[in-house]
Chain A
């Protein structure tokens, strides 16, 4: 054990089904977001920024891209002799099959959890785009002498991704009531799926869960324990979105065109780390137009781009018009092509002169390596 007596566990396959288009080939954790990041960079950087030096990443399926991204953990300073990153692929005695709940997934990582000697554990999902201050979470947890502290935020609960947990708290943040709700509707205080508790309590909860009907982790940890355990909420203020489908994915990216949101997410006190690709800075040609664009390194912009999120090594050729789009790594827009309201996955090629238009309420998604 090094650092601050806390270790982390991240679920990399959180709600993969919500973005089935993109998670066909990857985990939620490895979905590209905000021009140069992957979803898992957010919880991982939050942990590192809170001096956590040991992180287990639970994987389920399609985790090649995730392994490739994480590598040895160096970009997060987690390539350590002691501690560092631990990849936790499905594991179990006999034919346990695929995990169906976080409880089962955690049970598969039981060996990692029991062998750890940190007193506390933080558990996080990878479907959240937010720069959460985990140091504040640890402090609040200790100050309240809580059994479990869950990070919450006032937000519209995400729809299409199963049930959410609504929290009703007193003035001290103590959770008085927790309700299972369906997503959508009014803004309310919801759990963001980030928990801190003692490691022993986590082991006890998992064991309890596995002897019962293997309930969901939210039920096991919070719902079933209201009145039994001291459960507190630690409210996250600022930019925060859970990805629950293609249109939220689109909107979350587009929200980063706002200065306030960027300042909050790319907080210089708590940087978001990611793998570096050593690409040269972006080149803007003659007669290009670039307005309201978030742009990574390595691009070649000769055409017109407006209201876009553009990842590394993207080419926008002369005369092309790209508006309200998310272009992922290595996409190529040919001369005089027009693309609007679209999400182009990696290596998509739009040939010269082609036209591609989605609607503002329903952006079109073009799968990886498609040639149009």
Chain B
């Protein structure tokens, strides 16, 4: 097989349980974002735009919808004669069948796949973040510093640092310590979940890690500390720009609304760094004569007859006359009927908000601190006149 320089392994098997109803039946990377995208479009498009054309996508949790979405990779131009997109699910081996136990174990179980391409470098990516990044520049940085492992980091506000994996670095950006969610961080350089390894080294560490019965087989907790203990050269690659973890309902809601926030540096219309997606077949959207749409994003196939403010409206959504949507994310195929109100909420795919129903609440109508994002789960109907409170997750009976 033709030798390639850098191969990407995309970890897409996580459940994303903090997204509640949204990930009940689909894996987190397949969750809808930004009107027409899914979270996994970001790392995949970054790979293609960076010239990485061999991508293994590791799936495990609820892979049906994700697999269908990925198809043969054509939407990202990853249906290739050499390389391209490969969906890697756990498989049966002579010693038995094993699920992916953790991040490092997932890569370990696919050593054979990586060896087939015999790459110099392997990028390990996660399918949980919204960001645009040139992995090729990071690879160059990795090569320039002759590192064993390079980890992309982002400076986060100090008060948020305890929520992240923190890299403590020397002046030359080499890492001397890794702290997972430290109570008292020594640095504000948070790991972005983007790693580049020299494959030969990583391969040896994965095998050693697999043989360690005390290991949790996790990159952050085991592989990186083991490399640091051995005095290997680990570099932090500083990234500037938009990057957001969309692991919770409120962060997913925020990341969507960032698309229409003029103070946020997230532009998906840049034709030199396109975000590709497996677009649904839909006609253009239609604004009828009663439509009132301010500071919002509207995708194809929609019908807008009501009023929409500061919201993200995904493909094939219907917002009937007299309906009101404010600061909300409406996912593909949802319907907001006449006179219904959706305020500061997420309405998931194919949900129906019946007439005069209300989802969520304006923060100013509540006591300070009492407000949170409300959510209506996929394929759920909120009955006529019913109310879904701020912070509530409203799902189908069988989903609860």
Decide whether A and B assemble into one complex: yes
Q: Which residues of A contact B (CB under 8 A)?
A: 34-36, 74, 257, 259, 262, 265-266, 271-273, 276, 278-288, 290-298, 300, 310, 313
* Set of chain B residues within 8 Å of A282, measured between Cβ atoms: 285, 297-299
Contact (Cβ within 8 A) B283 A262: yes
Q: How far is the CA of A70 from the CA of B252 in the complex (A)?
A: 37
* Set of chain B residues within 8 Å of A286, measured between Cβ atoms: 294-295
* Set of chain A residues within 8 Å of B36, measured between Cβ atoms: 280-281, 297
Contacts A297-B36, A298-B269 given; indicate if A281 touches B297 (C-beta within 8 A): yes
* Set of chain B residues within 8 Å of A283, measured between Cβ atoms: 260, 269, 296-297
> At the interface, yes or no: B35 with Cβ under 8 Å from chain A?
yes
Contact (Cβ within 8 A) B295 A36: no
Name, among B285, B287, B296, the residue most crowded by chain A CB atoms within 10 Å (CB to CB).
Answer: B287
Which of A35, A285, A293 contacts B295 (CB under 8 A)? A285
> Smallest Cβ distance from A165 to chain B, in angstroms?
31
* Set of chain B residues within 8 Å of A262, measured between Cβ atoms: 283, 286
Q: How far is the CA of A166 from the CA of B212 in the complex (A)?
A: 84
| A-B contacts besides A272-B281, A287-B294, 8 pairs, CB < 8 Å | A35-B283, A282-B285, A284-B297, A288-B293, A290-B287, A291-B287, A291-B288, A294-B284
B interface, size bucket: 20 to 34
Q: How far is the CA of A294 from the CA of B282 in the complex (A)?
A: 12
Listed A/B pairs (27) with beta-carbon separation below 8 Å: A35-B284, A36-B284, A257-B286, A259-B288, A265-B283, A266-B283, A271-B281, A276-B279, A278-B279, A279-B269, A280-B297, A281-B314, A283-B260, A283-B269, A284-B293, A284-B294, A284-B296, A285-B295, A291-B287, A291-B289, A291-B291, A292-B287, A293-B287, A295-B285, A295-B286, A297-B36, A297-B284
Q: Which residues of B contact A (CB under 8 A)?
A: 34-36, 74, 260, 268-269, 274-277, 279, 281, 283-291, 293-300, 312-314
> Smallest Cβ distance from B136 to chain A, in angstroms?
20
Contacts A35-B284, A297-B300 given; indicate if A290 touches B279 (C-beta within 8 A): no
* Set of chain B residues within 8 Å of A281, measured between Cβ atoms: 34-36, 297-300, 312-314
> Smallest Cβ distance from B191 to chain A, in angstroms?
28
* Set of chain B residues within 8 Å of A292, measured between Cβ atoms: 287-289
* Set of chain B residues within 8 Å of A295, measured between Cβ atoms: 284-287, 298
Q: How far is the CA of A36 from the CA of B284 in the complex (A)?
A: 7
* Set of chain B residues within 8 Å of A313, measured between Cβ atoms: 269
**Shortest Cβ-Cβ A-B pairs, 9 listed:** A281-B35, A281-B299, A280-B268, A35-B284, A266-B283, A296-B284, A290-B287, A271-B281, A284-B293
Q: How far is the CA of A281 from the CA of B314 in the complex (A)?
A: 8
> Smallest Cβ distance from A296 to chain B, in angstroms?
4
* Set of chain B residues within 8 Å of A34, measured between Cβ atoms: 283-284
Chain A residue at smallest Cβ distance from B297: A281
Contacts A288-B294, A290-B293, A297-B300 given; indicate if A280 touches B286 (C-beta within 8 A): no
Q: How far is the CA of A278 from the CA of B34 in the complex (A)?
A: 13
> Smallest Cβ distance from A287 to chain B, in angstroms?
7
* Set of chain A residues within 8 Å of B291, measured between Cβ atoms: 290-291
Contacts A74-B74, A266-B283, A278-B274 given; indicate if A284 touches B269 (C-beta within 8 A): no
* Set of chain B residues within 8 Å of A285, measured between Cβ atoms: 294-295
> Smallest Cβ distance from A198 to chain B, in angstroms?
32
Chain A residue at smallest Cβ distance from B296: A284
* Set of chain B residues within 8 Å of A271, measured between Cβ atoms: 281
Q: How far is the CA of A292 from the CA of B293 in the complex (A)?
A: 12
Contact (Cβ within 8 A) B298 A284: yes
> Smallest Cβ distance from B66 to chain A, in angstroms?
19
Q: How far is the CA of A281 from the CA of B74 in the complex (A)?
A: 20
Contact (Cβ within 8 A) B293 A278: no
Name, among A35, A265, A284, the residue most crowded by chain B CB atoms within 10 Å (CB to CB).
Answer: A284
* Set of chain B residues within 8 Å of A310, measured between Cβ atoms: 284
Q: How far is the CA of A279 from the CA of B274 in the complex (A)?
A: 8
* Set of chain A residues within 8 Å of B275, measured between Cβ atoms: 278, 280
Q: How far is the CA of A313 from the CA of B268 in the complex (A)?
A: 12
* Set of chain A residues within 8 Å of B35, measured between Cβ atoms: 280-281
* Set of chain A residues within 8 Å of B313, measured between Cβ atoms: 281
Q: How far is the CA of A294 from the CA of B260 in the complex (A)?
A: 21
> Smallest Cβ distance from A48 to chain B, in angstroms?
11
Q: How far is the CA of A257 from the CA of B286 in the complex (A)?
A: 8
Q: How far is the CA of A286 from the CA of B291 in the complex (A)?
A: 14
* Set of chain A residues within 8 Å of B296, measured between Cβ atoms: 283-284
Chain B residue at smallest Cβ distance from A276: B279
Q: How far is the CA of A42 from the CA of B285 in the complex (A)?
A: 18
Contact (Cβ within 8 A) B294 A297: no
> Smallest Cβ distance from B316 to chain A, in angstroms?
9
* Set of chain B residues within 8 Å of A287, measured between Cβ atoms: 294
Contact (Cβ within 8 A) B74 A273: no
* Set of chain B residues within 8 Å of A296, measured between Cβ atoms: 284, 300
Contacts A262-B286, A284-B294 given; indicate if A278 touches B277 (C-beta within 8 A): yes
Name, among A34, A276, A313, the residue most crowded by chain B CB atoms within 10 Å (CB to CB).
Answer: A276
> Smallest Cβ distance from B19 to chain A, in angstroms?
22
> Smallest Cβ distance from A2 to chain B, in angstroms?
19
Q: How far is the CA of A284 from the CA of B299 in the complex (A)?
A: 11
Contact (Cβ within 8 A) A280 B269: yes
Q: How far is the CA of A113 from the CA of B283 in the complex (A)?
A: 33
> Smallest Cβ distance from A85 to chain B, in angstroms?
16
Q: How far is the CA of A185 from the CA of B15 in the complex (A)?
A: 65
> Smallest Cβ distance from B235 to chain A, in angstroms?
33
Q: How far is the CA of A174 from the CA of B62 in the complex (A)?
A: 55
> Smallest Cβ distance from B286 to chain A, in angstroms?
5
Name, among A276, A281, A286, A296, the residue most crowded by chain B CB atoms within 10 Å (CB to CB).
Answer: A281
Q: How far is the CA of A262 from the CA of B301 in the complex (A)?
A: 11
> Smallest Cβ distance from B241 to chain A, in angstroms?
17
Chain B residue at smallest Cβ distance from A313: B269
Q: How far is the CA of A172 from the CA of B312 in the complex (A)?
A: 52
Name, among B274, B276, B289, the residue most crowded by chain A CB atoms within 10 Å (CB to CB).
Answer: B289
Chain B residue at smallest Cβ distance from A283: B297
Q: How far is the CA of A273 from the CA of B279 in the complex (A)?
A: 11
* Set of chain B residues within 8 Å of A284, measured between Cβ atoms: 293-298
Chain B residue at smallest Cβ distance from A311: B284
> Smallest Cβ distance from A306 to chain B, in angstroms?
8
Chain A residue at smallest Cβ distance from B269: A280
* Set of chain B residues within 8 Å of A265, measured between Cβ atoms: 283
> Smallest Cβ distance from B248 to chain A, in angstroms?
23
* Set of chain A residues within 8 Å of B281, measured between Cβ atoms: 271-273
> Smallest Cβ distance from B171 to chain A, in angstroms?
40
* Set of chain B residues within 8 Å of A276, measured between Cβ atoms: 279
> Smallest Cβ distance from B299 to chain A, in angstroms?
4
Chain B residue at smallest Cβ distance from A286: B295
